[in-house]
Amino acid sequence: MLDTSEAGGPAVRRRWFALLLRDRFATAAAVVLILVALCAVLGPLYAGDLATRQNLRAPGRPPFGLDHGWAFVLGSDSLGRPVAARLLAAAGTTLAVAVPAVLCSLVIGSVWGMWAGYHGGWRESVSLRVADVILSFPSLLLAVVVLYVFSPSAASLVLVLAVARIPVYLRTARAEAAELRSRLFMDAARTFGTGGWAAIRRHVAPSVLPTLLTVAALDFCFVMLAESSLSFLGIGIQPPDVSWGLMVAQGRQELQSAWWIALFPGLAIVVTTVSATVLASWARLTTDPGQRWREGLGRRSRGLRSDRGSRGDRGSRGDRRSRGDRGRSAAGDAATEEEREEERSVPGSAAGSGARPPGEGTEADVLVVDDLSVDVHAPTGPVHVVRRVSFAVRSGETLALLGESGCGKSMTAHAVAGLLDPVAEVVGGQVRLDGVDLLGLGARARRRLAGPGLAMVFQDALSALNPVHTVGAQLAEPFRIHEGLSRRAARARAVELMERVGIPEARSRAEAYPHQFSGGMRQRLLIATAVALRPKVLIADEPTTALDVTVQAQIMDLLGELRAEQRTALVLITHDLGLAAEHADRVAVMYAGTVVETGPVAEVFGRPHHPYTRGLLASVPAEQHRGARLTSIPGSPPEPGSVPAGCTFRTRCPMARERCATHRPALTGTGAGRAAACHFGKELADA
């Protein structure tokens, strides 16, 4: 599939043509298919009634004799009709059945399958059952029944064959779309409001269609053979019309005495099918973004390649990975020292650029999470992974959600952003964005709010960017969806955005693919997509974990600058206390799915009111620990399914008493703007 950015225009067609000429097999296949198409159109005119004229005085004339004119060069059949003339006449009939049948089943099956796979749930189940029902009938038997009921004609043949093949495309498209549904770049697109058909068209179709094209090429052969069987049974193409399949079927009976009658139409079917398959494989390989980089297809890739040629071929590294692998591999894998150097010199990213606002805004809270609870539906029953979590954040403020791995930070963020897995469900609480309860909104209203309302930056930027689209096309998507800009105008905004987040040579690099960027650059691109619509709230889920310290600082500074510029409320999810200390205004410390302490970062870190926060701080290497042994919290957080009764932290707590085993402490105020969920919170506050 051509990327939308490059579709159309004589220049693109010329590039495709040049690429085709480079591949000998693909060129030969294209020539064969063009010849077949010409035969199909001109053959019947040229052959005239030669194809049907019987000559019973000269039946079964052998091939390769030129004494009786060109029409008999491939011999004649048992009724004396010239095989060459019949082949030409049959090309039109064969393609008139096979091409529409394959196209109809391809279009209907693919669209249906992508829709079912993308949405999942009942749509997927019902679609699969329908496909099962169609597949459970042997397709030829189904065709025989239908064609006996309706009068046999080319049109009814097309209809029957198309219906019989729809499930093949439906199942293939569904499987691929269902796999894509869970990919991070789909979540990323949902966060700025891409949903329904737009998501299918932009994100699912480009990945799924190359596979479907290959299936279609193979199906071409099946359809031609099915047509021949039906014609042989007398319910397909009706004499005096003739198709290649019908010629094979008729010649089969005389294979011993007159082999040429079946052989030449058989060869025509094989050569046409093989050519279609070769061309489909070529198209598939050529449209793979990694392959396109190597081949130099794309407006700017040639320029990019020459710019970067001296640095070693990063493009070929991308080629070695499959499309899926590129989507899943770790974000930081591509950064070379040179790229990092490039990032260090990015304008506006110097450490300590002073962009962080004081976080003491007078505005009301823009995001309020109130008593939010999330369950995961396990085979053994619901498991509470987030329990009654509450926090709020104001415009221009940064709130850090802290805690060990598995304590529910990401689950909370996904619930807030409406990106929970199907196995998880919000079972209580509210999420209010500017007073609007997000959880009560329908899918359409929620999509309208996504992007300008609440956006998200993910940890793994490579997975969160779609590997089959150029970054320019991806950055343009929010503008096209929410502001209805034309492709050109949206592209211009995308380039501006890339410049804003410090991507050098933004105009040319907008035509590159995600795998052609370093980890730090990809994270910048992801941030650019998230802030494109100036969201009121930005959730950054461990945005720097996979990056080295220098790039980490640049990314945090960039987030700080954008937050200050756009007055965005930032929810920073991290387990890095240093990062929170440096960049957050307030913190909410989570343990076993619930908030155990919250307050201004300096106060909480200076004098924690919960033993868990204390334990976390004591386990971080710091100046005051020099020469002393670092302490760590004994044990590990409980699994969500086996949280102890009473205080969830008591099994690891040095202060645990009897009461902790029986009473679960609520989050209660322990000072100005502070709260802790500990029976001894006040004690710790006053100590």
Ligand X SMILES: Nc1ncnc2c1ncn2[C@@H]1O[C@H](COP(=O)(O)OP(=O)(O)OP(=O)(O)O)[C@@H](O)[C@H]1O
Specify the residue, 406 or 428, whose C-beta has the smaller distance to ligand X.
Answer: 406
Under rule CB under 6 A, residue 245 binds ligand X: no
Binding letters toward ligand X, positions 595-634, x by CB under 6 A:
----------------------------------------
Using the minimum distance from each CB to ligand X, give the nearer residue, 230 or 407: 407
Q: Which one of residues 421, 437, 496, 683 is an interface residue with ligand X (CB under 6 A)?
A: 421
| Residue 408 φ then ψ, to 5° | 105, 15
**Maximum Cα interatomic distance, the chain, rounded to a whole number of Å:** 118
For ligand X, which residue of 183, 202, 491, 575 counts as binding (CB under 6 A)?
A: 575
Distance CA 318, CA 329 (A): 11
Q: Could you give phi then psi for residue 82, rounded to 5 degrees?
A: -70, 125
- Distance between CA 264 and CA 244 in Å, rounded? 9
Stretch that binds ligand X, among 223-231, 262-270, 279-287, 399-407 (CB under 6 A): 399-407
Write out the two tokens for 404: 């060990």
Among 407, 569, 677, 684, binds ligand X (CB under 6 A): 407
Compare residues 410 and 544 and give the one whose CB is closer to ligand X: 410
Contact (CB, 8 A) for 194 and 419: no
Which one of the spans 1-9, 13-21, 109-117, 400-408 is the region binding ligand X (CB under 6 A)? 400-408
Among residues 247, 243, 260, 348, the alpha carbon closest in space to that of 559 is found at 348
Structure tokens at 516: 């052609």
Selected from 34, 103, 351, 423, the binder of ligand X by CB under 6 A is 423
CB of 411 to ligand X, least distance (A): 3
Of 75, 236, 396, 403, the one binding ligand X (CB under 6 A) is 403
Cis peptide before 535 (omega within 30 of 0): no
Among 105, 250, 410, 466, binds ligand X (CB under 6 A): 410
| Shortest Å distance, C-beta 424 to ligand X | 6
Q: Which stretch binds ligand X (CB under 6 A): 141-149, 156-164, 344-352, 398-406?
A: 398-406
Q: How big is the site for ligand X, counted in residues (CB under 6 A)? A: 14
Q: Which of 326, 384, 409, 536 binds ligand X (CB under 6 A)?
A: 409
By beta-carbon proximity to ligand X, the closer residue of 301 and 594 is 594
How far apart CA 138 and CA 134 sit, in angstroms, is 8
Q: Which is nearer to ligand X, 12 or 581 (CB)?
A: 581
x-marked contacts with ligand X along 628-667 as a string, rule CB under 6 A:
------------x---------------------------
Q: Which of the stretches 16-24, 34-42, 408-416, 646-654 binds ligand X when contact is defined by CB under 6 A?
A: 408-416
- Sign (positive/negative) of CA torsion 122, 128, 132, 135? positive
For ligand X, the binding residues in 356-385 under the rule CB under 6 A are 376, 385
Q: Least CB distance from residue 385 to ligand X, whole Å? A: 4
The verdict on 47 binding ligand X (CB under 6 A) reads no
Q: Collapsing DSSP states into helix, strand and coil, what is residue 546?
A: coil
Q: Which of 408, 472, 608, 611 binds ligand X (CB under 6 A)?
A: 408
Task: Measure the CA–CA gap between 543 and 519, rounded to whole angstroms.
Answer: 11
CB atoms within 10 A of CB 663: 12
Check if the beta carbon of residue 47 is closer than 8 Å to that of residue 34: no
Q: Which is nearer to ligand X, 475 or 539 (CB)?
A: 539
Q: How far is the CB of 401 from ligand X (least distance, A)?
A: 8
Q: Tell which positions 78-117 bind ligand X, by CB under 6 A.
A: none
User: Which part of the chain contacts ligand X (CB under 6 A), choosing from 401-409, 425-433, 546-554, 650-658?
Assistant: 401-409
Tell which phi-psi region holds residue 83, choosing left (phi > 0), alpha (psi between -120 and 50) or beta: alpha
Burial of 75 (0-12, 13-18, 19+ CB in 10 A): buried
In this structure, what token pair is assigned to residue 555?
């990314």
The distance of closest approach from Cβ of residue 371 to ligand X in the complex, given in angstroms and rounded to an integer, is 17
* Residue 250 CB neighbours (<10 A): 21
Helix axis angle, 487-500 relative to 471-483, nearest 10°?
A: 120
CB of 575 to ligand X, least distance (A): 6
For ligand X, the closer of residues 385 and 462 by Cβ is 385
Closest to ligand X by CB, 406 vs 452, is 406
Question: Which amino acid does the sequence have at 638?
Answer: P
Helix (H, G, I), strand (E, B) or coil at 176: helix
- Tell me if 406 contacts ligand X by CB under 6 A: yes
Q: Which of 451, 454, 435, 436 is nearest to 364 (CA)?
A: 435
Q: How far is the CB of 437 from ligand X (least distance, A)?
A: 22
| Touching ligand X, residues 171-200 (CB under 6 A) | none
Sequence-distant (6+) residues with CB within 8 A of 45 are: none
State which of residues 310, 380, 405, 624 lies at the interface with ligand X (CB under 6 A): 405
- DSSP-H helix ranges across 418-486: 443-449, 461-464, 471-483
470-481 as b/e, with b when 16 or more CB fall inside 10 Å?
bbbbbbbbbbbb
Q: What is the dihedral of CA 158, 162, 163, 164, to 10 degrees?
A: 100
Select from 32-40, 409-417, 531-539, 563-571 the region that touches ligand X (CB under 6 A).
Answer: 409-417
Give, as ranges, the residues between 247 and 286 that touch ligand X (CB under 6 A): none
Binding residues (CB under 6 A) for ligand X: these are 376, 385, 403, 405-411, 421, 423, 575, 640
